[in-house]
Amino acid sequence: MRKLLVYLKYYKKESVLAPLFKMLEASFELLVPLVVAAMIDVGIPNRDGSYILKVSGIMVALGVIGLVCSITAQFFSAKAAVGFATKLRHSLFAHVQSLSFSELDEIGTSTLITRMTSDINQVQSGVNLVLRLFLRSPFIVFGAMVMAFTIDVQAALIFVVAIPLLSVVVFGIMLVSIPLYKKVQERLDRVLGITRENLTGVRVIRAFHREDAESERFASGNRELTAMQNFVGRITAFMNPVTYVIVNGALIWLLYTGAIRVDQGILTQGEVIALVNYMSQILVELIKLANLIITVTKAVACGKRIQSVLEVENSQKQSVGTECAGAADAAGEKGAPGEKDAAGIDAKDGVCAVEFRHVSLTYRNAGDTSLKDISFKARPGETIGIIGGTGSGKSSLVHLIPRFYDATEGQVLVEGRDVKEYAVSDLREKVGIVLQKAVLFEGTIRENLKWGKADASDEELMEALATAQASEVIANKENGLEEEVAQGGKNFSGGQRQRLTIARALVKKPKILILDDSASALDYATDARLRQSIREMEEKPAVFIVSQRTSSIRYADQILVLDDGAVVGMGTHETLLERCEVYREIYQSQYQEDAQTGGAENGKGE
Amino acid sequence: MAKENKGKRQTDTLKKVLLYIRRYLFLLVLSLVFAVVSVFATLYVPVLTGDAIDWILGPGNVNFPNMIRILTQIAVVIAVTALAQWLMNVCNNKITYGVVRDIRNDAFAKIQSLPLKYIDGHSHGELVSRVVADVDQFADGLLMGFTQLFTGVLTILGTLGFMLSIHVGITLVVVLITPVSLFVASFIAKRTYQMFRRQSETRGEQTALIDEMIGNQKVVQAFGQEEKVQQRFDDINQRLYQFSLRATFFSSLTNPATRFVNSLVYTGVGVAGGFAAMRGMISVGQLSCFLSYANQYTKPFNEISGVVTELQNALACAGRVLELIEEEPQLAEPRDAVSLGQVQGTVELSQVYFSYDPGKRLIEDFNLKVRPGQRVAIVGPTGCGKTTLINLLMRFYDVDRGQICVEGEDIRQVTRKSLRENYGMVLQETWLKAGTIRENLLMGRPQATEEEMQQAAKDAHAHNFIKRLPKGYDTVIGEDGGSLSQGQKQLLCIARVMLCLPPMLILDEATSSIDTRTEMKIQNAFAQMMKGRTSFIVAHRLSTIRSADVILVMKDGSIVEQGTHETLLAKNGHYAKLYLAQFAP
């Protein structure tokens, strides 16, 4: 929580002024009982009407000052709280964006969304209330005690006993309920998870007519949430009655002591009334404080959840932070102007576009290695095919190139330099990757394509679309490039989405292009045309094609055959056919299919 | 006019919320009873205190026996108050969380019955935000409403009663000044509602963006779009800041404003009471009692006005959830809907017209007759609308004109459950629910035995990799399949269908993410599965296509050719072109 409060520093002035004005208001409020006591002890016994009027004038004046102070305080605190939440939301979003894939996998999406929305809202109202009341209430409580001392020391001692007792109760309940609120929030997360899942999986759920079962599952999650909320509610419900008992117990004692002191002639009747008034002011403040504490407790619990996300460190950060700064400096000083040339010359000299040196990868929290001791070189302009069974590590391998994950052992080099030495943005600038899951974003097609290159001209976009075999997708749309894409690209078919995502990567004119099984929804003919047109690109990038189909990688300069995370064959189609058992099997399974369809399968059809 | 509409919408929402609360009538009555007890006990304390003070007149003039009697009475009253307060709080919690639970359940049930058109057409993040965040805000408001509205109103009434019993004149002073407080509060509340609604809308917009971007964070990072996305986020964030600031500030004005009116009331009582006491019309103890009432009487106005703004916010949120709950559900099944039972597998589409968007024509005058056990292959270039056909067969969408019959029954006349039960569907987009592998496999047939389930997994060649997972079939997979590869997910989806083996199959690129070695092996199982079953297959592999009884060639959403492999080749049209392209890569 403390770390979050740092975000208040942008609103230092407001966060100081808000409670300050609140305290000013409270001070004036504390004077009222004294004024009333004066009225009772002086005005009434002396039957002095003008004195009473004068006194009430003072009371109205105190009220006006209080109003002004309080409105000022409300404004500052609203500004600070809302501004704080805005900054926090900004930072949280930025932080999530900076996390590497390992961390994102670990945290999970749905909880990130709750934290960014409802958790921050809770924290916002918490901060707002704290600024307005958290100082004011204790101030009134202690102020009332101090005022009591000015009236009578012995009577004031009752305040000295009652106030710590109250604090113990209030803070005790708070301490007990904070961890419980965290649990409530966790259960809320589950409810959110189920809701989301049912929206994304709506087709399957309906196909299996699981609507009722899912509703039941939701109801049970919901029930658990409600049970927890009720449990916490029962505990916090103690707050008001217990504080009420303490304050009124003190009141009885106060009246009794007051009676003795008046009897002894030490106190006046008006002063006893003032003391009673102070005690009831304490009660009123405590009721506010108790309500406030519920909100604050929730806010703190939510704050902790937010903080735990902010505390997740990017596991790749250290190297990027230190070395990248160094690398960037180096580039800035001498490298920058020369860098391109150097790369260009290097490329001609045969420096590899991508090189793997004994690379192994174990995902966090995974027992088994996903890649084992992989070494290979890819020269600029070459096409590398990567093939292998489901789960053989094909995607993991190519994900190391743009540094989505860090190799646990060995080195990945891009244009002769370890990927860890690049600033991540520079590295990803060079690499165009098309992921398995074709994702488009809400906006126009143009906006989507421009993700590849912000200032791309229409010609560049059309060129990329043509290469990606997606020209007709646009041609068929009324608005062409301006066609709106619905969220998740739902208004496009899987194949259209895939081609558009490929185009998006091509707009970048990357040095290295990775197609991670991204033509799976394309039919053979389109797939073939796509490869053809990539081959014919002007500045042909080094291309990595991850595929299940031998036909897609058959003409690659080099084919890596993966099996269970290890390279079991490397070479051209022909050499692999000769030497690599696994490759031969894969090829035959597909080749046969094409060749023998007439035979075996035809029989079935009849 | 606009104002009236807003007001009407608010009262409408309120009415609907009250309907939800009505289920908890008993608790509500109980809570009211406790509220009455606690408020009147609370109000009785100042009277007793005033009596006590009147026994403290001055030095040597204190009546101790009477004092002690009164102090004991106070102690009893306090005990009663505390107990009643606690019980009231417990009741209120129960009502609030119960209502919230009911609303959430209804919202979720509605999601289950919404037409796919609605779900496809709305951002999931925004819908989630309605079910989760909005309902949460609503709960907060409702709880505050219960705890403070009841007691507030009762306190006002009770105080008035007690005050009248002491002195009518001073009471009038109080009654005359307080309406100012109400006026101020309602003035502020009216302004605030609008701002809360705008705040709520902007929040929805922001949630949608978060959902989209964080959900696809990997793409965002791959394209180095972090800054751009951040910028979009910040734009919304900034707007949210403006609306939130206004909403928060204006709503928080209520408190100081009403407090100021309070201090006026307090002063009024002071003056009137002071003069009355001066003339001996009331005792000093009664004046102190009056002053303490003046405080208690006006405090509820503070609270109530605070509650009113909170409730307005809550109503704005509730409005958004209720909007979802009241959304038109998918076409209800006719009362005499037929349950299909186990079908043979005759499917007939006659003169089917369909399009997603009335402005854009898609499927027109489509006719097809499939006999039991026939295989229908759907081929065509990427994005030609093959999935649309599946949407229609499964009745995810309804046809615009014409009809689709299964076993001679128009599918609109049969129950959705029985229709879908007869189809086994494997989609290209694999979806698994968060839970164990077992739960996922048993989705279609929860009552299947362990052996049956494992056999299905073996047939789908999923058994081996499942065995290798840390907890085998009890391994929990995360949201959307979590750490499983696309291919593994697809195998699980296939196993899921193999377990229930319905009479008709829909396979949409069912093996697109499975490597061919595994696929070869699955093919056998597939062939076994398809035997005697009507199947619709979206496929690329010619082997599958060739052996089909009917091939539908689709282009731009409509069926351009229809026939067997041989007749279509002879035709030398689209199909022939596709076929040749495959063999000349």
Q: What angle do CA B252, B256, B257 make, to 5 degrees?
A: 100
Domain boundary among B293, B325, B357: B325
Domain shared by B411 and B486, yes or no: yes
Sequence-separated contacts (24+) of A93-99 with Cβ below 8 Å: A93/B210, A93/B230, A93/B233, A93/B237, A94/B226, A94/B230, A95/A309, A95/A310, A95/A312, A96/A309, A96/B214, A96/B217, A97/B217, A97/B220, A97/B221, A97/B226, A97/B229, A97/B230, A98/A314, A98/A317, A98/B226, A99/A312, A99/A314, A99/B217
CB-based contact A93 B211, cutoff 8 Å: no
Q: Which residues of A touch B201 (CB under 8 A)?
A: none
Overall domain count for chain B: 2
B355 and B239 in a single domain? The answer is no
Distance from the Cα of residue A410 to its chain's centroid = 32
How far A337 CA lies from chain B's nearest CA (Å)? 22
- Chain B: residue nearest A524 by CA? B582
User: Which segment of B19-28, B168-177, B402-411 scores lowest on mean pLDDT?
Assistant: B168-177
**Gap between the Cα atoms of A92 and A84, Å rounded:** 12
Q: Are B354 and B480 part of one and the same domain?
A: yes
Q: Can you say whether residue B369 is alpha, beta or left, with left for phi > 0 and alpha for psi between -120 and 50 degrees?
A: beta
Which structural domain range is residue B252 located in? 2-325
State chain B's mean pLDDT as an integer. Answer: 82
**Which of these, A550, A102, A226, lies nearest to B221 by C-alpha position?**
A102
Structure confidence at residue A594 (pLDDT):
47
- B80 falls in which pLDDT band (50, 70, 90)? very high
Which pLDDT value is given to residue B4?
A: 56
Predicted confidence band at B83 (pLDDT cuts at 50, 70, 90)?
very high
B218 domain-assigned = yes
**Which tokens is A336 given?**
């920058």
B190 with B272, same domain? yes
Phi and psi, residue B431, nearest 5°: -130, 130
Instruction: Identify whether B337 is part of a domain.
Output: no
Cβ neighbours of residue B1 under 8 Å, at least 6 residues apart?
A: none
Provide, as residue numbers in chain A, all residues whose Cβ is less than 8 Å from the Cβ of B287: 40, 44
Task: Give contacts of B496 with chain A, Cβ < 8 Å.
Answer: 208
In single-letter form, the type of residue at position B381 comes to P
pLDDT in tens, B380-416: 765 566 778 888 888 888 888 899 998 888 888 888 8
Q: Using pLDDT thresholds of 50, 70 and 90, give the confidence band for residue A483.
A: confident
Q: What's at B25, amino acid-wise?
A: L
> Both B474 and B522 in a single domain?
yes
The per-residue pLDDT for range A35-74, each reduced to its tens digit, is: 888 887 787 777 788 888 888 888 888 889 888 988 898 8
User: What is residue A53's predicted lDDT score, i.e. its pLDDT?
Assistant: 85
Q: Which of B260, B295, B325 is the last residue of a domain?
A: B325
Residue A329 has pLDDT above 50, yes or no: no
Residues B170 and B314 in one domain: yes
B338 found inside a domain: no
Cα dihedral across residues A442, A447, A449, A453: positive or negative: negative
A605–B549 CB contact, under 8 Å: yes
Both B144 and B284 in one domain: the answer is yes
Q: Is residue B196 part of a domain?
A: yes
d(CA A36, CA A24): 20
Inter-chain contacts counted by CB atoms under 8 A, chains A and B:
512
Q: What is the pLDDT of residue A454?
A: 82
A538 phi, psi to nearest 5 deg: -65, -60
- Are B418 and B554 members of one domain? yes
In the predicted structure, residue A521 carries a pLDDT above the cut 70: no
Considering the domain architecture, whether residues B116 and B39 belong to the same structural domain is answered as: yes
Over residues A404-463, the pLDDT tens digits come to 888 888 889 988 888 888 888 888 888 888 887 788 888 888 888 888 888 888 888 888
Helix A269-311 / helix A49-98 crossing angle, nearest 10 deg:
10
Residue A343 clears pLDDT 50, i.e. is over it: no
Residue B333 lies in a domain: no
Tell me the one-letter amino acid at B321: V
Check pLDDT > 70 for residue A99. Answer: yes
Does an H or E element contain A442, and which? none
pLDDT of residue A320: 43
CATH of the domain at B153: 1.20.1560.10
Residue B542 has pLDDT above 70, yes or no: no
Per-residue burial over A97-107, b if 16 or more Cβ lie within 10 Å, else e, is bbbbbbbbbeb
- Buried b or exposed e, range A25-59, using 16+ CB within 10 angstroms: bbbbbbebbbbbbbbbbebbeeebeebbeebbeeb
Q: Note whether B93 contacts A124, CB cutoff 8 Å.
A: no
Range B206-213 average pLDDT? 85
ipTM over 0.85: no
pLDDT digits 0-9 by tens, A307-324: 888 888 777 654 443 333
Residue B153 and residue B261 share a domain: yes
- The answer, yes or no, to whether residue A20 has pLDDT greater than 50, is yes
Angle at A569 between CA A568 and CA A574, to 5 degrees: 155
Q: What share of chain A is helix, strand, coil (3-state, %, to 5)?
A: 70, 10, 20
> Model confidence over A191-246: pLDDT tens digits?
888 888 888 888 888 877 788 888 888 899 999 999 998 898 888 888 788 888 88
* Residue B104 maps to a domain: yes
Asked if B123 and A490 come within 8 Å (Cβ–Cβ), the reply is no
B373 in the same domain as B307: no
Rounded to whole angstroms, how far apart are CA atoms B39 and B33? 10
Up-side HSE of residue A175: CA atoms within 13 Å toward CB? 6
Residue with tokens 């805005």: A86
Percent of chain A's residues with pLDDT above 90: 1
Note whether residue B301 is domain-resident. yes
Residue type, B422: N
Contact A601 B127 (CB under 8 A): no
In order of start, what are the domains of chain A with their CATH numbers?
A: 2-311 (1.20.1560.10), 348-595 (3.40.50.300)
CB B533 within 8 A of CB B503: yes
Pair B352, B495 in one domain:
yes
- Residue A345: predicted pLDDT: 39
Half-sphere exposure of residue B520, counting CA atoms within 13 Å on the CB side?
17
Residues of A in contact with B124 (CB under 8 A): 196, 199-200, 487-488
Nearest to B144 by CA among A294, A224, A301: A294
Three-class DSSP category at B404 = strand
